Amino acid sequence: MKPTLDQLAREQTAAFGGKSDPLRRGHHMDLPRILIVHNFYQQTGGEDSVVANELALLRAHGHEAHFYSVSNDEISSVVDKARVFFNIDYSHRSRRHFAQELARVKPDVVHAHNFFPLLTTSIYDACIDAGVPVVQTLHNFRIMCAGTYLMRDGLPCDKCVNGSPYHSVVHRCYRGSVAGSFAVARMIDVNRQRGTWREKVDRFIVLTPSAKDLFVRAGVPAGKIVVKPNFCARSGCAWR
C-alpha cells in the first residue's frame, strides 16, 4: 500500500528543521493558509516527492499547509475510463468536490501541482468563485504537449508548442494511442481557446529558464511565470 503524501511529508519535516504537526503555525499567525493540490499518477514519481518536500518545508516553518488529492488508482473500470475520456478537459464533478474543500479549509492561496487527468482545470473556477488566488507548478509540458516531454521518437519535438495540439494524434504521442492522444490534445486545445492560462491562474512556477521560454511561446503570459527549481533537504542530497 502506497504511503499517503501526508505521511511522506511528516517523515520529511524533521529534515527541514521542523516538527511533525501538519497544521502547526506556532507564533507565525500572519502566514498564509495554503492548500496544496495534487493528482497522483498510478506510479509514484518525482512530482510526488516534490509535493511531499514542499508540504514538509512549509509545515516545518510554521505555515498552515493543507493537502487535497485524488489518485489515478480510482480509474479502474471501463466506466471510469470513459468518464475520464469525456471529462478530461473539464470535470464538473471535480469542481464541486474542490469547492467543498475550499469552503472547509478557507485557504488564502491554492498551490496546484498535477491536475491531470481527474482534477482538471475546473478547480481553477472553484478558486475563482471562492476568491482564492491560484499558483500552478508546471512540472512538465502537458499543457502544450500530449506526450508531456516534448520528445518524439527519441528526438526533441516542439511541433505543438504554438501549433495545433492535434499533431499528437497522428503520431500517437500519448501512450501510443490515437484515442488517448486525441483526448489530451482536446484538453490542450479547449484550455487554449478558453484562455485558461491567461486568465485563470495568478502565477505559474516552472523549473528552469528554458522551460519558461517554451511556456511563453505556448501562450502563457511571461509576467505570470517565475522560475523555482526543485529542492531537497541538505540531509537528503548528495553534494558534488
Which pTM value belongs to this model?
0.87
CA distance 92 to 123: 9
Distance from chain centroid for Cα 113? 2
Provide the pLDDT for residue 43.
87
Provide the pLDDT for residue 149.
96
End-to-end Cα, the chain, rounded Å: 34
Which residue shows C-alpha cell 558534488? 240
Q: If DSSP codes are grouped into helix, strand and coil, which group holds residue 85?
A: helix
What is residue 159's DSSP assignment? T
Provide the pLDDT for residue 30.
80
Provide the pLDDT for residue 8.
54
CA distance 8 to 53: 8
CA distance 137 to 211: 12
CA distance 179 to 196: 23
Residues whose CB falls within 8 Å of the CB of residue 149, separated by 6 or more in sequence, listed in order? 140, 141
Which residue shows C-alpha cell 526533441? 156
Count CA atoms within 13 Å of residue 30 on its CB side.
0
Residues whose CB falls within 8 Å of the CB of residue 124, separated by 6 or more in sequence, listed in order? 112, 134, 196, 200, 201
Q: Which three cell numbers stand for residue 124?
A: 481553477
Distance from chain centroid for Cα 147? 16
Q: How high is the mean pLDDT in each 10-residue block of the chain (240 residues)?
A: 52 52 53 97 92 95 96 95 96 98 98 98 99 99 97 96 96 96 98 97 99 98 97 69
136-164 burial by CB neighbour count: b if 16+ within 10 A, else e?
Answer: bbbbbbbbbbbbbebebeeeebbbbbeee
- The total number of residues written for the chain in this structure: 240
Provide the pLDDT for residue 28.
54
